[in-house]
Amino acid sequence: MTDSKYFTTTKKGEIFELKAELNSDKKEKKKEAVKKVIASMTVGKDVSALFPDVVNCMQTDNLELKKLVYLYLMNYAKSQPDMAIMAVNTFVKDCEDPNPLIRALAVRTMGCIRVDKITEYLCEPLRKCLKDEDPYVRKTAAVCVAKLHDINAQLVEDQGFLDTLKDLISDSNPMVVANAVAALSEIAESHPNSNLLDLNPQTINKLLTALNECTEWGQIFILDCLANYTPRDDRESQSICERVTPRLSHANSAVVLSAVKVLMKFMEMLPKDLDYYGTLLKKLAPPLVTLLSAEPELQYVALRNINLIVQRRPEILKHEMKVFFVKYNDPIYVKLEKLDIMIRLASQANIAQVLAELKEYATEVDVDFVRKAVRAIGRCAIKVEQSAERCVSTLLDLIQTKVNYVVQEAIVVIKDIFRKYPNKYESVIATLCENLDSLDEPEARAAMIWIVGEYAERIDNADELLESFLEGFHDESTQVQLQLLTAIVKLFLKKPTETQELVQQVLSLATQDSDNPDLRDRGYIYWRLLSTDPVAAKEVVLAEKPLISEETDLIEPTLLEELICHIGTLASVYHKPPSAFVEGSRGVQHKRLPATANSPDASSAAAVADAPPAVIPSQGDLLGDLLNLDLTPTTTGPTPAVSTGIQMGAMDLLGGGLDSLTMIDSVWVQVWVPAMKAKGLEISGTFARRAGVIQMEMTLSNKAMSVMTDFAIQFNRNSFGLAPAGPLQVLIPLSPNQSIEVTLPLNTVGPVMKMDPLSNLQVAVKNNIDVFYFSCQYPISILFVEDGKMERQVFLATWKDIPNENESQFQIKDCHLNAASSKLQGSNIFTIAKRTVDGQDMLYQSMKLSNGIWVLAELRVQAGNPNYTVTCLLWVQNT
């Protein structure tokens, strides 16, 4: 007696019969009927018409029947919202049941009913269940919050469920903790900027404790959550690593990979000379290798991730080449990935082995795989220089097999080898030419034509070969046409006497008979070049080409860093940042690896971030933004984004920015745009601060023959948010040989982006002729505001509070103290105090930048010594 009987239908009409059975008095018959209904539902039949009859069966003490009815409800409540209300009462009652299984089941099912009216009734029972004495109920309720949030986010926030959920992270039961983390992570995904998972050392400790005791799935949630944390220092990072490493021996591969992610990320912070660093590297290899002995689907995901790991830290798997050797019955998707990793791991030490394998693969049956194997041989040649010769001879062997697609692929890669090692392997050209006729794929044809053109002087019948291609010019693909055009021009430049006719033919084919704009344009360029200045043409067409390198197929480093943070996720399988493809990820935060502990700039950046804690919301965000430079333009108040901008500014002020401090009152009138470069418009100018307003004072000179009108100006985003306060006031047209002086008031509420150097400003000026771009530097003094005079006491207190990391010292020469003082005041650098200690004169000054950064300075001069020492401290006001 099996369930398949539920699928048999009678002639009378299934629904009708089921209805009758559902309303039967006999319990047994009822249950059978509900089972039939569920069976129909599973195969996608519409049984929603039975809704009221099924719901009537809900009031029962038979648990199986209750579960079945719940199953039905979850599927169909949405289509029958009014009827679903009928079920609410039973749910609320069940939430009070003495049996925790029933309480949990009720709250679980209610969350799955996506009907607004029902969710209102859900709140009270849910609140009770979140505080239930039974952990099984609590953990079910935690998930229910995530469900509810998906249906009605506002309701969850209003009811304060998020806070209750956060409290559950400290629950005594590890399963409850794991589910709370899972629920919070899911909610956080739809609110990338909410600070839901506020990770601090205490919560991290709780998570690590729960990690040891919860189920495998809970471990995955917790590990993924841990990966978002940025440890304060290398010691914390090490202690977390130590507690995570046992997870590498877990039987569940998803746990292993999540643990690898945490370790790969936190490892960045460990100093490389630490013993533990080496131990960790060694521990990472075996679990990764073990993943490769699992089922093919797991292997595939593992291989995609190993591909990333190998690029970031090749040392982990450098001795494990053999596990990537391809078995002939691996699925094709595994084969291709293994091949890719083999090339990444190829080195001088193992190249002989790799080449022997690749040659073996090139004789396999699967065409895609064979092609990739041949291509891999070429990549080995480019990557490992010592092996190039052997690779070329292997490729020649393969060409001898005369298997059409092998030959074509081999020719494409030999072209690349020529580009990497010019003038080394030309002896093989003769062999290549033998196979000219068998080439039918555009890429191979183009490659061959490129080779012929490039080495035209060594191929006696180059003109004949190219001519033969020219016959079917119009049938070729664009790739081949372009290549043929270039090759023939090259040939002409090398052997001008015999090939004049050929070149004219191809030029006319390209320019007159072709519809392809690319081809036509290239044809015209060559034509003009050849007709005006053959010497120049030679320089252009036969110019030395940059060598290609193996790096071309590597993932770009910043992307790689981000992907390492996403090991084990879809992003790591697609090798794309999550923002590029995950649906509904509104403003996904870019994750970055934490900086190494001993890299100076990053650690001091972190230190600066530490100093004013109120300004910086969390270090993780800051580091992310610091590296990202993706600052949002803001005009009101210091938001986190702006303050990070300030932080950066502060850092650089301490660095190079102070050079300009010492040149405060020299007026730089500079020529920003010479007339030559801007079609006759010359722009020169300077910056100044007058009566509290920053001004850009420009002289526009028309050195062209025609009148210029319609001037406008725009700034790119810059370090301090400088922006024009109004339009450029050039009201009268500028006639030839006329100059005009314009003053443009500026404000500092524009978008912020860190520039290098810090005071760099990129400007676009437009007139009726064109748009011109230039960049200039403004003296930092224009940013010092008038109210930069600090009270003495405040100055003293602040001076002490500023950490050493924010301090910097400079030497300046030849200046007079008293004169300096008044001069500085003119530039809004205020002298606060002056004293003499041990024959040293000290001058204390304060200034404030337009973005709220205070700079406190101490000017120290030793009698008789013309050198002054300036000590500068930076302070960001916590407003």
Partner 1 sequence: MIHSLFLVNASGDIFLEKHWKSVVSRSVCDYFFEAQERATEPENVPPVISTPHHYLISVLRHRIYFVAVIQSEVPPLFVIEFLHRVVDTFQDYFGVCTEAAIKDNVVVVYELLEEMLDNGFPLATESNILKELIKPPTILRTMVNTITGSTNVGEQLPTGQLSVVPWRRTGVKYTNNEAYFDVVEEIDAIIDKSGSTITAEIQGVIDACVKLTGMPDLTLSFMNPRLLDDVSFHPCVRFKRWEAERILSFIPPDGNFRLLSYHVSSQNLVAIPVYVKHNITFREGSSQGRFDLTLGPKQTMGKAVEAVLVSSQLPRGVLNANLNPSQGTYTFDPVTKLLTWDVGKINPQKLPSLKGTMSLQAGASKPDENPTINIQLKIQQMAISGLKVNRLDMYGEKYKPFKGIKYMTKAGKFQVRT
Residues 208-237 that bind partner 1 (CB under 8 A): 213, 215-217, 220, 224
Helices (H), 495-612: 500-512, 517-532, 534-541, 557-564, 570-574, 600-610
Q: How many residues bind partner 1 (CB under 8 A)?
A: 108
DSSP structural state of residue 5: G
Cβ 141 to partner 1, closest distance in Å?
A: 11
Among 153, 155, 289, 769, binds partner 1 (CB under 8 A): 289
Pick 256 or 874: Cβ nearer partner 1: 256
| Candidates 83-91, 172-180, 407-415, 728-736; binding stretch for partner 1 (CB under 8 A) | 172-180
Cβ 64 to partner 1, closest distance in Å?
A: 4
| Candidates 60-68, 455-463, 759-767, 850-858; binding stretch for partner 1 (CB under 8 A) | 60-68
| Candidates 296-304, 415-423, 679-687, 870-878; binding stretch for partner 1 (CB under 8 A) | 296-304
| Candidates 123-131, 484-492, 574-582, 704-712; binding stretch for partner 1 (CB under 8 A) | 574-582
| Residues 637, 671: Cα–Cα separation, whole Å | 36
Cβ 167 to partner 1, closest distance in Å?
A: 19
Pick 218 or 750: Cβ nearer partner 1: 218
Closest-CA residue to 482 (of 528, 447, 532, 455)? 447
Pick 572 or 846: Cβ nearer partner 1: 572
Contact 334, 300 (CB under 8 A): yes
Closest-CA residue to 704 (of 730, 684, 675, 677)? 675
AA letter at 824 = L
Whose tokens are 């895609």? That residue is 368
Contact 746, 694 (CB under 8 A): yes
Among 9, 49, 78, 477, binds partner 1 (CB under 8 A): 78
Binding flags for partner 1, 298-337, as an x/- string (CB under 8 A): x-xxx----------------xx-xx-x-xxx-xxx----
Binding flags for partner 1, 770-789, as an x/- string (CB under 8 A): --------------------
Cβ 341 to partner 1, closest distance in Å?
A: 14
AA letter at 491 = L
Pick 525 or 582: Cβ nearer partner 1: 582
How are strands ordered across the β-sheet holding 723-724? 670-673, 681-690, 693-702, 739-747, 723-724
Contacts 24+ apart (CB under 8 A), 200-209: 201/232, 201/236, 203/169, 203/170, 204/229, 204/240, 206/169, 206/170, 206/177, 207/169, 207/177, 207/181, 208/240, 208/243, 208/244, 209/174
Cβ 258 to partner 1, closest distance in Å?
A: 7
Closest-CA residue to 94 (of 61, 56, 138)? 61
Closest-CA residue to 453 (of 547, 542, 536)? 542
Pick 278 or 826: Cβ nearer partner 1: 278
| Residues 752, 722: Cα–Cα separation, whole Å | 8
Cβ 89 to partner 1, closest distance in Å?
A: 22
Pick 46 or 233: Cβ nearer partner 1: 46
Tell which positions 440-499 bind partner 1, by CB under 8 A.
none
| Candidates 288-296, 473-481, 540-548, 858-866; binding stretch for partner 1 (CB under 8 A) | 288-296
Give the Å distances, CA to CA, from 317 to 267, 320, 657, 865: 16, 5, 44, 60
Contact 824, 859 (CB under 8 A): no
Pick 295 or 756: Cβ nearer partner 1: 295
Cβ 88 to partner 1, closest distance in Å?
A: 20
Pick 181 or 783: Cβ nearer partner 1: 181
Contact 737, 702 (CB under 8 A): yes
| Residues 859, 736: Cα–Cα separation, whole Å | 51
Neighbours of 509 (CB within 10 A): 19
Cβ 765 to partner 1, closest distance in Å?
A: 44
| Candidates 4-12, 157-165, 504-512, 677-685; binding stretch for partner 1 (CB under 8 A) | 4-12
| Residues 331, 405: Cα–Cα separation, whole Å | 21
Tell which positions 23-42 bind partner 1, by CB under 8 A.
27-28, 31, 35, 38-39, 42
| Residues 188, 643: Cα–Cα separation, whole Å | 24
Does 606 participate in binding partner 1 (rule CB under 8 A)? no
Contact 713, 765 (CB under 8 A): yes
Tell which positions 541-570 bind partner 1, by CB under 8 A.
566, 568-570
Neighbours of 819 (CB within 10 A): 9
| Residues 765, 684: Cα–Cα separation, whole Å | 12
Among 230, 237, 253, 408, binds partner 1 (CB under 8 A): 253
Does 584 participate in binding partner 1 (rule CB under 8 A)? yes
Report CA Rg, the chain: 37
Tell which positions 340-359 bind partner 1, by CB under 8 A.
353, 356-357
Cβ 222 to partner 1, closest distance in Å?
A: 13
Report the relative pairing of strands 723-724 and 739-747 from DSSP bridges. antiparallel
| Residues 232, 620: Cα–Cα separation, whole Å | 10
Cβ 614 to partner 1, closest distance in Å?
A: 32
Tell which positions 503-532 bind partner 1, by CB under 8 A.
none
Among 582, 704, 785, 796, binds partner 1 (CB under 8 A): 582
Tell which positions 5-24 bind partner 1, by CB under 8 A.
6-7
- Cis? peptide before 100, omega within 30° of 0: no
Contact 700, 681 (CB under 8 A): yes
Contact 257, 291 (CB under 8 A): yes
Among 54, 256, 563, 874, binds partner 1 (CB under 8 A): 256
Binding flags for partner 1, 420-439, as an x/- string (CB under 8 A): --------------------
Tell which positions 361-400 bind partner 1, by CB under 8 A.
363-365
Beta pairing partners, 774: 763
Contact 144, 118 (CB under 8 A): no
Pick 344 or 689: Cβ nearer partner 1: 344
Pick 361 or 875: Cβ nearer partner 1: 361
| Residues 455, 25: Cα–Cα separation, whole Å | 93
Cβ 557 to partner 1, closest distance in Å?
A: 22
Among 14, 17, 21, 186, binds partner 1 (CB under 8 A): 186
Cβ 108 to partner 1, closest distance in Å?
A: 6
Tell which positions 83-122 bind partner 1, by CB under 8 A.
99-101, 108, 111-112, 114
Tokens of 347: 């080195």
Among 56, 62, 152, 438, binds partner 1 (CB under 8 A): 62
Contact 186, 200 (CB under 8 A): no
Tell which positions 120-159 bind partner 1, by CB under 8 A.
134-136, 140, 143-144, 146-147, 150
Tokens of 330: 């691996």
Pick 142 or 417: Cβ nearer partner 1: 142
Pick 301 or 843: Cβ nearer partner 1: 301
Does 65 participate in binding partner 1 (rule CB under 8 A)? yes
Cβ 726 to partner 1, closest distance in Å?
A: 46
| Residues 376, 363: Cα–Cα separation, whole Å | 14
Cβ 283 to partner 1, closest distance in Å?
A: 10
Contact 739, 699 (CB under 8 A): yes
Among 46, 64, 116, 770, binds partner 1 (CB under 8 A): 64
